[in-house]
Chain A
Amino acid sequence: MIFSDPQALIAAVFARLAEDDAGAPVRDLLGAGAGSIIHARRLRDQVLPLRPILALRAGSQVPLERVLNQASFTWWVYDDPAQDYARINALLRPISDAYDRRRYPLATPTVAAGSVQIQAGQETEDTALGLLVRPVYLTIIC
């Protein structure tokens, strides 16, 4: 079994929204642009960026065959309860567009992503943070 380069893939998935041109429409809808895009571990920081926020959590990376892996990521899209889910839901399409492999292939020097499946989870509340949230799941074959 051969793993893809996990750190390179995490960096590419993060940079797609935080830095790449493909993610510019997403950044335009966030509280502080790229400053509102963080890794999930930073949610424990005392001061969070301006909402809406995107927080990335890298999930499993599972070998499918000898040369293929399935990597899972979740973008958690957060906003203040006073905003209801309007701004969260407005972000779903731009996030999906940014990972459209035909327009913006996801590749690093060590990882080439094949298919990218994207799925939004249900509207819910993160009671630990007191924020509304909706997860966006990415499944990448690489």
Chain B
Amino acid sequence: MSGEFDNVFRALDQLQRAIIEAAEDGLRQAAEDVTAFLQASDAYGDQTGATRAGSIAFVATPQDDGSGEFNAAYGAVAELNPDHAYAEEAGGPAADEIMLVATVPTDYQQHLETANAGDHATLRPSMEALTPQIQATWTRAVEAKLR
């Protein structure tokens, strides 16, 4: 009897892992879409190219906090506008979390998001616009895995 339950629990574990992997895959695809959307924005008055080059979305998991992607974006900003490259410790996801992070590693992004009621904001408006698409992308990935 306990062997039968072991099989059930093993199958449930496998299913859970498959769903999480599919969700990560879906979010990675969504992150690419968000990055493309951010970099295509004309909301900010980009003077050096740093904001466009540094706009990025990436997936952070307990195993990979996305620092590789972040550092690449930081490097792009540092090259184009070295006095304004900015990073701060934000903390990674908890053990049961997967995060989709959208950011721009400049010291003036917060100003852009807020000044004149967000007249030149990109992050918040982009995430508002793309949330349904993000949800659809990762839902499709999970559904495909479960078929």
Contact = CB atoms under 8 A, between A and B. Distances in A.
Interface of A: 40, 43-44, 55, 57, 59-60, 62-64, 70, 72, 74, 76, 124-129, 133, 135, 137, 139
Nearest to B136: A64
Contacts of A124: 110, 114
Contact of B117 (A55, A62, A72): A55
Contact of B132 (A55, A64, A74, A76): A64
B5 to A, nearest CB: 41
A127 B115 contact: yes
A127 B111 contact: yes
Contacts of B133: 62
A20 to B, nearest CB: 22
A129 B128 contact: no
B143 interface: no
A110 B116 CA distance: 31
B125 interface: yes
Contacts, number: 54
Interface of B: 110-111, 114-119, 124-125, 128-129, 131-133
9 contacts: A43-B119, A57-B117, A62-B132, A63-B132, A70-B132, A72-B125, A72-B128, A76-B118, A126-B116
Considering the complex of A and B, which 6 residue pairs feature the smallest CB-CB distances, nearest first?
A60-B129, A128-B115, A40-B117, A76-B117, A72-B128, A55-B117
A59 B120 CA distance: 12
Nearest to A75: B117
A27 to B, nearest CB: 19
Contacts of B116: 40, 43-44, 126, 128-129
Output the residue of B110, B116, B124, B129 with the most chain A CB within 10 A.
B116
A70 B129 CA distance: 8
B114 A60 contact: no
Contacts of A63: 132
A129 to B, nearest CB: 7
B16 to A, nearest CB: 28
B115 A60 contact: no
Contacts of B124: 74
B114 A133 contact: yes
A57 B115 CA distance: 12
A40 B111 CA distance: 16
A60 B123 CA distance: 12
